[in-house]
Structures are given as C-alpha cells and as structure tokens.
Structure 1
Amino acid sequence: MKLLVATQNKHKKQEIEAVLKKTFEVVSLADLSDDEVIDETGDTFFENALLKAKHYAKKHNMLTLADDSGLSIDYLNGAPGIYSARYSGGSDLDNLNLVLKEMAHATNRDAHFTCVLVLYDPRTNVYQTYQGKIYGWITHTAQGNHGFGYDPIFYVPELKQTLAELSPTHKNQISHRAIALQALKEAFR
C-alpha cells in the first residue's frame, strides 16, 4: 500500500521509511515533485499535522501521513515548540545556535521532543493520530554528526549521548518520531 509522507525533508522521509518500509511503500512530496509549502497555522502539533495531512491527501488522493514535531524547553517556557523548524527564521544551524544563545545562563536545561502524526484517508475523510515523546536536556555545545535539527544539542540521559551521537538505526528505535511510528505500525498489524 502506498503512503504519502507530507514532507520535503529527506531526513524525515528516511526515518519514517526505516520504520514503515515493511508496512507501506513510502513516497514523499519530493518524490511527487510537489514543492508546495502550506502555512502551519495551527496552535498545536496536532492541528498542524492534521492541516498538512488533510491538504496533501486530498490534493494527491492518497493515504497521507503528516507529522508535526518539535523541541520544547522548560527554561524557554516551551519554546521553540511548534515553531521549532522556523525558530530563528534561518537554517537548522541558525535555530540550534539561537537556542544555545538563549540557554547560555540557564540552570534548568530540561527539554523534550514531541512528534504528532496524523494519518488521513481522503476516500473516507477519516484520520488517526499517534504521538511520541522523548525527554532529555539541552547541552552547552553541539555534539555528534548524525541526525538533523536540534539532535546535536539534545542529550538523552539514559543513553549518555545526544541524538546526533546515536547511529541512525539506534535513533530510529528510540526517538519521539520512532515512538509515534511504532504506534502507527502496531495499529496496522
């Protein structure tokens, strides 16, 4: 069964495909040469994921999975949150550096990643939602060469490593997105 993943982000597609490849044939917006970017006008991860899933499912008439995810930091009152991908207005590295700058004098460095997935079927207009979270804290400097986004500054205490220090295979077993994807996969068993 084909599944459209509503993203242009090749890293997200790879993470999703790694978990779901035995359940679905995964295609992305990039695979369909769809470079339309819709405004994420929701106030929550769920609202943004639903907005994207519904839009692209109807546009391409395909079962569609959309995710909205982000980093929430206690010291920053939950920021960057739903604005994680566009927090600085620049690149992933700009976002990461802005967080490090804002956290320079923080004593409470607790944070968590949230991923909300929405699976939308355009034939029935029915959707299902799945969520994953992972808890850790923000490091003082970037560490590791894997992953993307804020992975180099998100330390997982149980593993004694940042997400960027984990192999892609290991990350795809424990990340917030992996937890949500496993829940989706279980629902399709």
Structure 2
Amino acid sequence: MKLVFATNNLNKLKEVQVLIPEHIQLLSLQDIGCHEDVPETQNTIEGNAIQKAEYIKKKYGYDCFADDTGLEVEALNNEPGVYSARYAGEQRDANDNMNLLLENLRDKSNRQAKFKTVIALHLNGEVKTFTGICEGNITEEKHGEHGFGYDPIFKANGYTQTFAEISLDEKNKIGHRGKAVKQLVEHLMTL
C-alpha cells in the first residue's frame, strides 16, 4: 500500500515514518511533486487536517493522510490552538511563537496545556479521523535541543523534562502525534 503523508514538515515526517508498518510505503509531498503550500484555512484542527487530505486526494489522486496539531493553553482560552504555527506571525518561527506564548503567560499561575493532533485519512473514498492528546504544562523557560515547535517549553504530565529533552522514541510513546498515528496504524492493519 502507498500512502502520502501530506506535510512539508520534515520533522513530522521523521516522527511518523518510524511508526508506520514496513508494508506501507510512505510518500512525502515532494515524492508526488507537490511543492505548493497545501491550504489550511479552517478554524479547527480537525477541519485543517481534513482539508489537507482532501486537497491532495483531489489534486494528485493519491490515498493520503494529513495531520494538524495545535497547542491549547488553558489560561489563554486554549490559544494558540489552530493558529499554533502562526501564533507570532506568518513567518511561522518557532522561537517567536514560544517567546510570545511565554510572554502571554508571564503573570499566569495556571500553566496547564495540551497538545492535540488530528490525523485525517483519505482512503478508498472515505475520510476517517484519529485524535491524539497529550496533557502537560508550559515551562517558564526553554529547555532542550531536540524536537521542534513548542517542544522546548512543553512538559508532559508525569515528566520532569520537556519534549525537547526526551528521545524521539519516548516522545512517540507519550505524545499527541504518536497517539494519533497509533490509532491510524491500528486502523490500517484491519484493512
């Protein structure tokens, strides 16, 4: 089986590739000649994932899956949420996003947050979604060199290290994307 993972984010691709069974050939957007930005204009994480999967299926004809992820911070009315990648502007800079988030939380004692990933699978004319959530809190400063996005300021519940300080293996076990991919894989194994 061939499946396109509709992402231009090479970090996400690397995270997901290790979780997909070997009998499924995972193709990137580059592999299928898609070099444009895939639209993400919906106002929910679920909506964006579905929109991206439908776009690839319609324009390129491949069975595919797409994900969208957001960081929801309780004290900020679940911001940045669907705007996580563009929180500090269209330049989509992770450091700018983290700095703005830390600044917005400066006077807040509630630092509870959760990462939410929704994967939309477009396969055999049907769309199915899978959701992974990882609860945790936002640290007061950045820690760690691994990961990407908000990983240096997110600590999962029960952990003393941020996502940027733990191994990719560990992150995939407890993290939002790993949980959603696990559900996706379980579904694909039933086909």
Q: TM-score range by the shorter chain?
A: over 0.9
Is 1:109–2:111 an aligned residue pair? yes
- The correspondence of residues 38-57 of structure 1 with structure 2, limited to 5 A, is 38-57=38-57
CA-CA distance at 1:93 after TM superposition? 1.2
Is 1:99–2:101 an aligned residue pair? yes
The answer for unaligned runs of 5 or more in structure 2 is none
Structure 2 counterpart of 1:72: 72
Extract structure 1 runs of 4+ deviating beyond 3 A: none
Q: Deviations over 1:38-78 (max 9, x none)?
A: 33221211111000000012222111110011100011101
Is 1:165–2:168 an aligned residue pair? no
Is 1:132–2:139 an aligned residue pair? no
Structure 2 counterpart of 1:82: 82
Quote the Cα distance in structure 2 between the aligned partners of 1:84 and 1:19.
24
The answer for unaligned runs of 5 or more in structure 1 is none
Structure 1 counterpart of 2:155: 155
Quote the Cα distance in structure 1 between the aligned partners of 2:61 and 2:28.
14
Quote the Cα distance in structure 1 between the aligned partners of 2:115 and 2:23.
25
TM-score by length of structure 1 reads 0.94
Name the amino acid aligned to 2:104.
E
Distance 1:78 1:14, change over 3 A: same
91-100 vs 38-47, which moves further: 38-47
52-61 vs 17-26, which moves further: 17-26
CA-CA distance at 1:21 after TM superposition? 4.0
Quote the Cα distance in structure 2 between the aligned partners of 1:4 and 1:131.
19
CA-CA distance at 1:172 after TM superposition? 1.4
Quote the Cα distance in structure 2 between the aligned partners of 1:173 and 1:145.
19
Structure 1 counterpart of 2:175: 175
CA-CA distance at 1:23 after TM superposition? 4.5
Q: Deviations over 1:66-92 (max 9, x none)?
A: 001110001110100000011111311
CA-CA distance at 1:159 after TM superposition? 2.1
DSSP 3-state at the match of 1:15: helix
The percentage of aligned residue pairs carrying the same residue is 40
56-65 vs 5-14, which moves further: 56-65
Quote the Cα distance in structure 2 between the aligned partners of 1:95 and 1:54.
28
Which one has the bigger helix percentage? 1
Q: Deviations over 1:97-119 (max 9, x none)?
A: 11111111110000000000000
CA-CA distance at 1:30 after TM superposition? 2.6
